[in-house]
Chains A and B, each alone.
Chain A
């Protein structure tokens, strides 16, 4: 009797659970869902930048579901936390693909985290959307680079500074954090500046460690370098946390943008949110998107973001736009392929074109990089950027820099029949090696 009773209870409770499940998500039970992996650090040093990207992905997935999902199925976000730990990125990527069976992964910020997951994505044949500006010298079949390559950020920024509008700069300080992105970018910039006739003594390169906070010596060295009677500018690839003390020291030592402007590649609206920007007005940044861009698409995006995050003060930034573009491209490619099978989606991605937030269209190119406009903005007292220059058309991402001797002969084209990420046009063979 007792045994019987407990069996009945078990059956009963199982029934309740089943009923509960089917009631809460009838669509799921009926047709299944498409899982999308989100691989951004939610703790540790990189959480400061990456948490926002996780949130924007959740928002985009929500919006897509509100529009009726994809291929008649709902999208489901699978969020994991690689905790700013590079090897853990690879582990979590493997978990997302093998265990959760996600259709695509949106994630990574630092180049080292991307390098750490690359083997996982090619081994398990899945898709990674990488939303951050980076140093180039890479093109993988399984990765789509929606952030800027050096020619979509660094080179136009330097061009602007060299122009009359930018102040006809003659002397250059390349200031960076000591890791792969600044080192490669500075190598490209040095080669580029020299090709433009800048003598070696007019270029100063300096690196500081991650999270550097005592900038006195560096800023006074910049001041010293700038008093040689030639217009001087700083090109900064200083990363993340080190920026706030850097800018505070610039302000305190009275370096004005009118005298020595600082052009930054890693400082966006989010970084400025922790700063009093009054003394920094006029310092520059080069991106493919600014929150201040005045287009209807951007206005809607910002409104949606504020509603989603329930905070009117949260800023938007360039990597968020990159995820917006990347996600919409993936949706379009899946619709085009009629399946979420990564192999087919990868082939369908090339040529997909979606609206970006700056009033144009971005297209996925055969080298898995996208076309973008390049904007140069000046910091304003309210912590926003004001666009002071914009490339007339879209710039296509160039993965292998033409200014580095190792990579200038390399091209990438993932379409059949070439299907190669590092084709050497000089030797006619696939498998060249770039710098780093």
Chain B
């Protein structure tokens, strides 16, 4: 037994001494130590390049930490560590092995500064280093960075990587990165022509950027081929641009729809000129903020669900405030639009200032849950997740509202009161309560719109101000009292706006839309889809 153990120990010892990394590792450590004496960005960059030149995948850890601003110098002994925030101090980790070292206070450390140039350099060198990484996603990212930063020196490692690559999508991107590198190398013309056709097949803006550079830098057949490819890409991109404008228009339309849909009830169905509508949206956004605050402090695991949790609460908060406004003020002012306008304007100011007093005048941070961040591509169209979800959500809200109006008893009463109040009252409907609940419903819907809008806009006391005019525009344009009109109005305004914007600019575009609406209202004063109702009769 003892003998075995001794032999085992000896074996271990010999293995340790045979490991080739130890010598290289001490070299790496010596290089990393140079960070401590690098006083400016170019000196730091030189150290980064030296580390990258070693070709050792182990340098990925310290370089990634540096790019993320997490590489520190311990002031006491000028040692370099990767730092991780933990509580008040910073947990130090060995830059190569990742072993835990002592924690330290922030004051005892100095962070190694990085700037954009340095981050770019690190991204590029990491690209070369991670070509052979195990995770295909990392290899994909490596290929993408190498495509963007073509370098003749990349051809050889790419060739080796292509030979060993098994995942087809990664391999395709490797091929493109290789083609990009060939364009900047001194390879023969035939190779470059192949490379141009490989890159042109991508058809995106990155390819365009690369080909533009090639066209400017070369002569003869290569120049012509590049020019032809650029022309081709440009013509397909023009089509995609039109598609993109439509998508942007739909997305803007969905935001307008969300903001206006509550107003379509309070103004459209009930005929109340509710200037405090925007503030109901704002209250919904602040409810989201409060919900996220509570979740952040007490249940961090639920963060991705915060919006779902905030929805019913926002509806409730805004609906209750709406109910209070209707019972307290508006019910005394039915049939007196001017007074209603002034009173609700005053209420909007009161609500704004109240929120300002409670939460402060500055913006509040409402985070995006992970499923609402980032974007995905359909062809050359980049679609952001939050916009897509808002579109889905807006349509969903409209569908639910339509259902409530058409198929529920309450909706029937609501429509009855709108169509003929006295007849409805004679039939035993308590019209004052229908009024109150309808107003609460409209306000509540504005509140859930606030939850969605908190994802794309500021959460500040002024949030509602930005939407009130657009909302009225949508409702009036679409036809007062008609939810379908609101839908069509919102989307047509959104799309027209987004088609004008690239040519006329945002400021002029808005003016043109306003003028168009004014002209339209002259022709059809009741909007796209006119409906008979109290608002029209009044």
Contacts and interface: CB of A to CB of B under 8 A. Distances in A.
B83 interface: no
A274 B364 contact: yes
Given A43-B353, A212-B506, A257-B116, A229 B209 contact: yes
A206 interface: yes
Nearest to A221: B502
B367 interface: yes
Interface in A40-97: 42-43, 45, 47-48, 51-52
Given A47-B361, A244-B363, A257-B116, A211 B466 contact: yes
A4 B505 CA distance: 79
Interface in A373-398: 378, 380-381, 386, 388
Given A167-B117, A206-B505, A257-B116, A45 B462 contact: yes
A116 to B, nearest CB: 21
A282 to B, nearest CB: 5
A228 interface: yes
B248 interface: yes
B116 A261 contact: yes
A396 to B, nearest CB: 26
Contacts of B119: 257-258, 282
Interface string A273-297: 1111001011010000000000000
A115 B382 CA distance: 43
Contacts of B255: 213-214
A254 interface: yes
B363 A178 contact: no
B365 A220 contact: no
A51 B457 contact: no
A101 interface: no
Considering residues A164, A249, A252, which has the most beta carbons from chain B within 10 angstroms of its beta carbon? A252
B363 A273 contact: yes
A216 B246 CA distance: 11
Given A211-B462, A276-B368, A258 B244 contact: no
B457 A244 contact: yes
Interface residues of A, number: 58
A213 B502 CA distance: 16
Contacts of A164: 117
Contacts of A167: 116-117, 120
Contacts of A114: none
B468 to A, nearest CB: 12
Contacts of A275: 363, 365
Contact of A218 (B42, B244, B465, B506): B506
B212 interface: yes
A381 B212 CA distance: 35
B465 A45 contact: yes
A241 B463 CA distance: 9
Nearest to A270: B362
A284 B209 CA distance: 24
Interface string A208-250: 1101111011101101100111000000000001001100110
A116 B216 CA distance: 52
Given A216-B248, A274-B365, A281-B69, A388 B507 contact: no
Q: Interface size for chain B: under 10, 10 to 19, 20 to 34, or 35 or more residues?
A: 35 or more
B209 A211 contact: no
Contacts of A258: 116, 119-120, 123
Contacts of A178: 507
Given A216-B248, A274-B365, A245 B457 contact: yes
Contacts of B113: 386, 388
Interface string B184-206: 00000000000000000000011
B235 interface: no
A220 B245 CA distance: 10
B304 interface: no
Contact of A47 (B208, B356, B384, B459): B356
B252 interface: yes
A271 interface: yes
Given A245-B458, A274-B365, A229 B210 contact: yes
B362 A273 contact: yes
Interface string B343-372: 000000100110010001111110110000
B502 to A, nearest CB: 6
Contacts of A208: 506-507
Interface string B456-472: 11111110011000000
B58 to A, nearest CB: 24
- The majority secondary structure among interface residues of chain B is helix
B462 A217 contact: no
A207 interface: yes
Contact of A220 (B42, B206, B244): B244
A274 B386 contact: no
Contact of B456 (A51, A248, A281, A381): A248
A165 B208 contact: no
A43 B356 contact: yes
A216 B498 contact: yes
Contact of A228 (B41, B209, B368, B505): B209
Nearest to A45: B462
A220 B117 CA distance: 23
A209 B507 contact: yes
A48 B462 CA distance: 9
A419 interface: no
B55 interface: no
Contacts of A52: 361-362
B382 A253 contact: yes
Given A244-B457, A258-B119, A273-B365, A217 B373 contact: no
A110 to B, nearest CB: 14
Interface in B253-311: 255
B364 to A, nearest CB: 6
Interface string B109-131: 00001011101100100000000
B424 to A, nearest CB: 40
Contacts of B456: 213, 245, 248-249
B116 A51 contact: no
**10 tightest A-B contacts by CB?**
A274-B363, A227-B205, A229-B213, A229-B212, A252-B384, A208-B506, A227-B209, A47-B361, A258-B120, A216-B248
16 contacts: A43-B356, A48-B460, A165-B117, A206-B505, A206-B506, A211-B466, A216-B248, A217-B506, A220-B248, A241-B458, A241-B460, A251-B373, A276-B365, A282-B116, A388-B113, A388-B115
Given A48-B363, A248-B456, A271-B363, 12 more contacts: A43-B352, A206-B506, A208-B507, A211-B465, A216-B498, A229-B212, A241-B458, A252-B387, A254-B382, A257-B116, A258-B119, A386-B69
